[in-house]
Structure 1
């Protein structure tokens, strides 16, 4: 593949990994509109490594707090607020990990059509708007409990359907459960860390058998570009939704879904 494809696909991945707009919906557009071949497994691993480092670096202070909380909790045998948050995030991650591991082949076989992606983009775009309108926006990240973590974790399973958007569906659930907009995003992004790491590990098992269509230099550049774009996107998104809410992304999702329906169905 060309360097142009490398940059375009890396930027798309960096932008859409954390915005509630569905990366799968966007990654089919270059192939459909420009005739590009699938980017391949090695590219997916490279850009996911970039976005993983981006979210870890953005939340480095919170992650350090949770690490210190875990060490302190182990030493004193008590549950402090930071350890509690870490345990809740781990708990919320489990449903998607289990379902993704057991059903990834079935999901890939039956849900990767343009029709599914377009429908999910539209339906979950509407749900994002509804959650933003009716959500109480009173709860903080440190105030979540086991019930909230469980329900957001169950909602995250729906992200295995292409077009849903992992960040979109978890933010939707968090808003419906009463979290503030910024902390709904913070919870979603912190939950992405173990999931992205798990996805990298799973994809790496099949990497040796995958066809390589990018050079090592292209993969390294793609990883860096995706990481930088993802880091900037996280800060931009949280600042924007704090001021304007989810409506800009709802409008964008509806327009994208209708575009997919008009051109590809």
Structure 2
């Protein structure tokens, strides 16, 4: 019975102040089949005053992740379970800290370990358990050729940055409708706003470009999208949703990747209301 208890997500909201982009080509813009889930083994003392053990809450969380992964058919769509699980752990830690919008249940995942010729961005509705978008996405010119191999948080590095982001407001600039991003991992992407690392459309992100060149074109560090889908993606994920960019960064760590706090937060929100009925 416990593993069937998976309720609807309730999100919180936090306001942020924004700084104007300071570099990049758009610096002149205006403001404005099923798999088995690996077991999370990190121990923790439960903060939830109920009869559930941490092992029970952990099992429910693992089922929650696996249910969404299989229901959305993410394996067939090319997103690895490991990367998705990391993104969802982050999502629940963001949610625990009231960082994300209560009106949206979407999460966006980019896997820069994949070839740029592959569709390596997924936007997933966690409530309906459906993939809203699965598309191409570019990395920075100094991050690599076909694959992203080097990352930086430094201004004017023209590299991509890994980690967790919150989406912010939209604006119209050189690339049309664009979306500001707040980097949430201090050592890895915290300069996203001053570097003008934003989501925008670009003509060098297309199947035709891949056919001509064997890879996508590259940005100055932005996760640029195909022009034909960029507006729809931006409008779906703007205003405080989670973006997780995964890359081959061996030393990457994040406070948002703590599975124990994500498990406990998930249990507190989704299971506490049913404990008295069990």
TM range (shorter): under 0.3
TM-score, normalised on structure 1? 0.24
Which structure has more relative contact order (CA 8 Å, sep 6+)? It is 1
Q: Which structure features the higher share of helix residues?
A: 1
